Amino acid sequence: MNLIEEFNDYRSRMNEKIMSADNKVIKRFFNLDTNAYAAGAVDVKTKEMIGLACSMVLRCDDCIKYHLGKSYEAGLSKEEVFEVFSIATLIGGSIVIPHLRRAAEYWEALEQNNQDV
């Protein structure tokens, strides 16, 4: 199983378990998150770039992977993603660099995965 499949499989499996608890607050939060990233006055591509930058500054590797995957699906180019990386690193400082490394690795895996298909 590759890096992308491993992340997506784990995320899906755990989300199913969490949602099966039928907790109203958790369900509403998940729904709010889904709706926040839907197209509106701001397009999906831009929202994913914002989500990616914030995730990097907050140093959430799972969030970074999620937003990289969504950014890839939204059609961001490598150049656009690296501009987001640069802004996040500038805002977050050197503490972001380890997450930047893993983000670059994951983006590379997304590109490679698409070539294999």
- Average pLDDT over the chain reads 96
- CB burial of residue 96 (10 Å; 0-12, 13-18, 19+): buried
Looking at residue 23, its pLDDT comes to 98
pTM here is 0.93
Helix (H, G, I), strand (E, B) or coil at 76: coil
User: Residue 76 carries which side chain, given as an amino acid letter?
Assistant: L
CA 13 to chain centre: 17
Write out pLDDT tens, residues 29-39.
999 999 999 99
Structural domain spans, the chain: 38-114
Two structure tokens written together for 106: 């994951």
CA 102 to chain centre: 12
Looking at residue 117, its pLDDT comes to 56
CA 10, CA 116: separation in Å to the nearest integer? Answer: 22
The second-level CATH assignment, the architecture, of 38-114 is: Up-down Bundle (1.20)
Helix, strand, coil share of the chain (percent; to 5): 85, 0, 15
